[in-house]
Structure 1
Amino acid sequence: MTGTAGAEGNASQLRDLAEALVGAALKAGAGQADALAMRGESISIDVRGGKLEHADRAEGVEIGLRVLIGGRQACVSASDHGRASIAEMAGRAVAMAREAPVDDMLGLAEPGQLATVRDAAGLQIADDHRDPGPEHLQELALRAETAALAARGISQVESANASFSRRHLWLAASNGFSGGYARSTHAISAVAITGEGLGMERDYAAESRVWAADLPEPEEIGRMAAERTLARAGARRPPTGAFPILYDRRVSASLIGHLLSAANGSAVARGASWLRDALDLPVLPAGMDLTEDPLRPRYPSSRPFDAEGLATAPRRIVEGGVLRGWTLDLATGRKLGMDSTASAARGLASPPSPTNSNVILTPGTASVAQLLAEMGTGLVVTSMLGASVNGTTGDYSRGAAGFWVQNGQIAWPVNECTIAGNLRDMLMTLRAADDALPWRGAEVPSLLVEGMTVAGA
C-alpha cells in the first residue's frame, strides 16, 4: 500500500498484533512482556549485459515476543500471526523463560521512563512518494551499467543493482508503551571489472538513501565504479615495514566502529572491552568529538524511540578526545550502575542490546591531498577483507587493498597486504581530513594513522 491511508492501515494492523501478543503473554503467565510486529516489502533488480539478470520481491508480516518472569527471559518469533499462533507463541515463550538462567538486571522500563513521542513525525525516515516499481528500478540499474561500460578499459560490469525497501514496525509492552513508525531505503550499486585472468581487477560504487530524491543519479554511480576499477589496474603488493596509513572515507568508519564496539555496554559489562577502564580518559586526539544523533531528519539510523520505548536524543560519546560514556540499554545500564542511553535495538527473535544511531566524527581542516603530502611514504586503504580484532586487548590485523604513496603522491595500486597495530595506540594518532560525506549512518572522514605495520612483498 502507498499513501496516508495505506500507512494508517499498516500501523493499525501492526499495533493490534503487538498488543495482542503482549496480552497473550500476560494471560499465559508472563510477569512482563514486549512485542514487535513488522511489515516489510522489498524489490531488488539486477541487470547484466543490458538485460534483466535477477529480480527479487518480498512482502510479509512477522511478529516477535519477549517474555520476562522473575529475571528470566525468552524470545520467540513467527510469520503466522493468526489468533491461534499468537496464543501458541505466548505459551511457548513462557515455558522457555521458566527454564532460562536468572539475570536480575532484566526488566522493562518504568512507565515514567517511556518516550512520550510514539511515532516518527518530523524525522522523515519514510519516503512518502509512490513506491518505485520494478520497471523503474530496472531502468536505474541499466543507466548505472551503461555509464560504467562507457569508460574505456572496463571489460564488463559484473552487476548493477537498484533496490527499494520499506518496513513498518510497532512496539508494544506491558508497561504501557505502544508506538511505531515506518522506514524506507532506496539504493543503487554497480560493480565494474577491468583486465582478464590474473590481471583482473574489480571495484564498486554504491549509494543508499531514505528518500529517492536524495540519491545521486545512476550515471554518477556507474562512472564512479568504473573510475575506481580502472585505478586498480596493475595492482601489486606493497613493501613490508612500519608506515603511516590513510584510511579512505570508504573504510574509515570501520575504524571508528571498533571504538564504538569497545564502548558498548555489553562488552564493558562482560569485561571484554579494551576500553573497559577508559571512561573519562583520552581515547582520541584532543579536540576530536564523536557524537551520536538519532534525530537527524532523513538519515538511515534515525528513530524517535529505542527498542525499549525510551526517547532517543543526541549525545557525545567522546568529547574533546575524552570518552564520556558507554552505549547502554536498560539491562547493561543496570549492571554498570548507569542510566540507559536509549540505545536498545532488537530483532524479532532476540532481546534488546545496545547499538549506535547516526554517529559523526569531528572533521579535520586538511584535505586528503595535504595529508598525503605529510605522509610522504605510506599506504592509502580503500578496501578491507577479513579481520582479526581482539576485543579485550585491541590488537588489530586486517587484509587490505588500496594505493601506495611515495613523495606525497599516489604511486601505484596495492593488493594482497595485511595491516596491523593496536587500536588504542592507533586511535590516539588520528588525523582527520575534511572529506566526510553526508547521508551515512557513520559520517566519518578519511583518517590518517601513524606507525602501523604493513606486511606485503
Structure 2
Amino acid sequence: MNDPKTDTDTEAAARWAVARARALGADQAAAEVSADRGLAVAVREGETESVEYTDERVMTVSVWCRAAGGMRRGAASTSDLSEAAMERTVRAAVEIARCAAPDPAAGLPDEETLQTDFRDLDLWHPFEGGVAGGVELARRAEAAAFDADHRIVTTEGARFQTSEGGFTLANSWGFSAGYRYARHELSLSPIAEDASGMEREDDWTEARRVEDLLSPERLGARAAARAAARLGAQSLANGDVRVLFEARTATGLLDILEELLSGRALYRKASCLLGREGNLIFPRHVNVEEDPYLPASIGSGLFDNEGCAGTRRLVVEEGRLAGAFLTSYSARRLGRRTTGNAGGAYNLRLTSAETRASDTFDVMLARLGTGLLVTEVFGHGVNPVTGDYSRGASGFWVENGRLAYPVAGVTLAGNLLDMMASVEAVGADEHPEGARRTGSLLLPKMTVAGG
C-alpha cells in the first residue's frame, strides 16, 4: 500500500511508532509523521521587511485500548524524532488511553474504508526561487499596485509564502501511505486615499504550482482597483434589498455548508440542516459537488486524516441534500459510514444547470438591477442551529445594473435556509482561487441595516 513518493524517513518512523504501540499493549494504533519546510517573505514600500524559515518534523500517535463499553483513546505528539523522544511519546499515548473513558464509537476506521488507489494528483511543486525569488514576486506585486492608481498611497505590505513537504500515515491494519505536497501564496494589502478618507483592500492568489499563481502585476493592479473603488463609501437605509454576492465572497456559503453538514454538528444536533437529507435545500437547478481528486488543486488529497478514501460526489443534487461530511467517529455516532472527510471537505463547487457561459459578472449586475453587490462580509454572526445570519458587509449599491457608489458599515441579515432556498441565479464568473468554487450568487431579498 506504499505510495512511491512517500519520504522513507517518515515512513520508517510511522511504522515504528505503530509497532511500538502494539508492543506496549495498545489494541489499535495509528501514527502520522510529517516533514515540512517553509519560507515567508514580506515587503513593504519596496523594502524587505521580514524573512521567515520553518523546518518542522512532527510525529502524532493515537492509540486505542479495548475496555468494557468501547475503546479508550490516547494521543501524544512530538517534534523530536530521536528514538528516545519517540519512545516517550508512544508510551505517553498508551498511558493516556488507559486512563480515558471508554467510547463505543472510538477506534480506527473500518479497514474496507481505507484508500487503496494511490494515483498521482500532481501536488508537489516546490518553489525553487529562494529568498531572492520570493522577495522579487512580492516587490513586483506591490510596485504594480502603486503604478495602477495614484490614490494608492501606501500598503500594509506584500507577502509571499511557500511550503513543501511530505508525510506518512500508518496504522495497525497494515495501512502505510503518504505523499508530497506544496502550496504557494502571494498576497497584498494596498491602501488608497482621497479627500473622503482612506480605504484598505486585501487580495491574494494561491496555487500548488508557482506558475499557476496570478501574475504579481495582475494581482497588484486588481488589488489597487479594489482599494480605490472603496473610497467615499456610504451607508444604506434600513430595508429589504436584492443582493448579489461577488464570486469570491459567495464561496463563504460553501464553508458554512461544510460546517452545517459536519458529522460533529449533526450528532450534536447543532445544525439547521439536521434531518433534511433527501429534502430540497436549494432550488432544483443548483448542485454542489465534492471532488478530492482534482490534479494540482489546493483542496485535493489522496485520503483523509484517517487514511480513508474520499469520493467524488454530489453533496447537493438538483437542490436536494444528498450527503454530509463524516469521519469514522461521527459516522459511528450517526449509524452511518465514513465519507472520508476527517480533516474537512475537499474541493467544493456550487453550480447551476441554468448558468450559461454568457452569464458574466456584468450580466449578473444587470440581473440584480437595483440592490446591493456584496464584496466582503465579516464577523461571526451565523447561528448554525437556527440558521440566523447577521454579518457586517461592504460592497456597492447598484442601480439599473450599474455600480452607483461604494457601501460600508452595514449589517446584512437573513436566514441560511431562506438564503439557500432562494438562490435565483449563479454566474459564470467563478473565482479561480482556493478549494471552494462558485460564480456570483443572486438572492432576491435580504435585510440591510445601516450603521
Structure-1-length-normalised TM-score? 0.92
Q: Which amino acid aligns with 2:303?
A: F
Determine whether 1:81 maps to 2:75.
no
Q: Which residue matches 1:103?
A: 103
Q: Is the 8 A contact 1:204 1:226 kept in 2?
A: no
**Separation in 1 of the partners of 2:396 and 2:16?**
57
Q: 2:64 aligns with which of 56, 68, 75?
A: 68
Counterpart CA distance in 2 for 1:131 and 1:335 is 46
Q: Is the 8 A contact 2:196 2:231 kept in 1?
A: no
* In structure 1, distance between residues paired with 2:397 and 2:432: 27
One of 22, 28, 41 as aligned partner of 2:24: 28
Picking from 307, 318, 341, the partner of 1:343 is 341
Alignment check: 8 A CA contact 1:292 1:356 kept = yes
Rounded to whole Å, the distance in 2 between the matches of 1:263 and 1:405 is 34
**CA distance in 1: counterparts of 2:291 and 2:270, whole angstroms:** 26
Residue pairs, 1:269-348, within 5 angstroms:
269-345=267-343
Distance 1:197 1:80, change over 3 A: farther
- Deviation of 1:106 after TM superposition, in Å, equals 1.3
- Residue among 426, 429, 433 paired with 1:432: 426
Specify which of 42, 48, 73 is matched with residue 44 of structure 2: 48
SS of the residue 2:186 aligns to: strand
Residue 129 of structure 2 aligns to a residue whose secondary structure is coil
User: Which residue matches 2:137?
Assistant: 140
Residue 416 of structure 1 and its aligned partner are, at CA, apart by 1.0
**Contact map agreement 2:205 2:433 (CA 8 A) in 1:** no
Q: Give the 3-state SS of the residue equivalent to 2:389 in structure 1.
A: strand
Secondary structure of the 1:86 match is: helix
1:363-389 Cα shifts (integer Å, max 9, x gaps): 423333233223332211111221111
The alignment status of 1:381 with 2:374, answered yes or no, reads yes
Letter in 2 for 1:449: L
Are positions 1:418 and 2:411 aligned together? yes
- Report whether the alignment pairs 1:122 with 2:116: no
Q: Which of these residues, 348, 351, 363, is aligned with residue 362 of structure 1?
A: 351
* Kept after mapping to 1: 8 A contact 2:26/2:64: yes
| Paired residue type of 2:320 | V
| Structure 1 residue 197 displacement after superposition | 9.5
2:12 to 16, 27, 52: 16
Task: Give the whole-Å Cα distance in 2 for the aligned partners of 1:445 and 1:130.
Answer: 30
CA deviation string 1:335-380 (max 9, x = no partner): 22221111112xxxxxxxxx10001111423333233223332211
Shift of 1:43: 0.6
1:110, distance to aligned residue in structure 2 (A): 3.5
1:206–1:221 Cα contact (<8 Å) kept: yes
Corresponding residue number in structure 1 for 2:399 = 406
Gaps of 5+ in 2: none
- Whichever residue aligns with residue 131 of structure 1, its letter is E
Residue 231 (structure 2) aligned to one of 233, 236, 240: 233
Partner of 1:91: 91
Aligned to 1:351: none
Aligned-pair CA distance for 1:195:
1.3
Distance 1:283 1:65, change over 3 A: same
Within-5 A mapping of 1:242-261: 242-261=240-259
* AA of the residue aligned to 1:394: G
Is 2:395 the counterpart of 1:395? no
Are 2:196 and 2:232, in contact at CA under 8 Å, matched by a contact in 1? Answer: no
Distance 1:167 1:197, change over 3 A: farther
* CA deviation after TM superposition for structure 1 residue 451, in Å: 1.6
Give the Cα–Cα distance (whole angstroms) in 2 for the partners of residues 195 and 439 of structure 1.
28
Mapped to 1, the partners of 2:292 and 2:373 lie a distance apart of 31
Structure 1 55/188 Cα, relative in aligned 2: closer, same or farther at 3 Å?
same
The worse-fitting range, judged by mean Cα deviation, of 179-188 and 368-377 is 368-377
| Contact residue 110 and residue 175 of structure 1 kept, 8 A | no
| Aligned counterparts of 1:356 and 1:73: Cα–Cα separation in 2 | 24
Contact 1:41–1:59 (8 Å) recurs in 2 = yes
- Confirm or deny: 8 A CA contact 2:27 2:65 kept in the other structure: yes
Give, in whole Å, the separation in 2 of the partners of 1:101 and 1:394.
34
Find the residue that maps to 1:388 and give its secondary structure: coil
- State the 1:413 CA deviation: 0.7
Residue of 439, 446, 449 corresponding to 1:445: 439
Displacement after TM superposition at 1:247 (Å): 1.0
| Conserved 8 A contact 1:34-1:174 | yes
Q: Bigger shift: 286-295 or 372-381?
A: 372-381
Paired residues of 1:111 and 1:176 also in contact (CA < 8 A): no
- Cα drift, residue 299 of structure 1: 0.2
Gaps of 5+ in 1: 1-6, 346-354
SS in 1 for 2:403: strand
Q: Call closer, same or farther: CA 1:255–1:112 in 2, change over 3 Å.
A: closer
In 1, distance between residues paired with 2:308 and 2:398? 48
Alignment RMSD (CA, Å): 1.7
In the alignment, which residue of structure 2 is the partner of 1:352? none
CA distance in 2, matches of 1:159, 1:140: 12
SS at match of 1:192: strand
In the alignment, the residues of structure 2 paired with residue 226 and residue 253 of structure 1 have an alpha-carbon distance, to the nearest angstrom, of 22
Alignment of 1:176-191 (within 5 A): 176-191=174-189
Shift in Å, 1:109: 2.7
Superposed CA deviations along residues 246-290 of structure 1, whole A, max 9, x for unmatched, are: 111121111122122111111111111100010100011112110
Superposed CA deviations along residues 194-213 of structure 1, whole A, max 9, x for unmatched, are: 11798110112210100112
d(CA) in 2 for partners of 1:100 and 1:182?
Answer: 34
Q: What TM-score, normalized to structure 2?
A: 0.93
Shift of 1:130: 5.7
Q: Secondary structure at the match of 1:160?
A: strand
- Determine what percentage of the aligned residue pairs are the same residue: 34
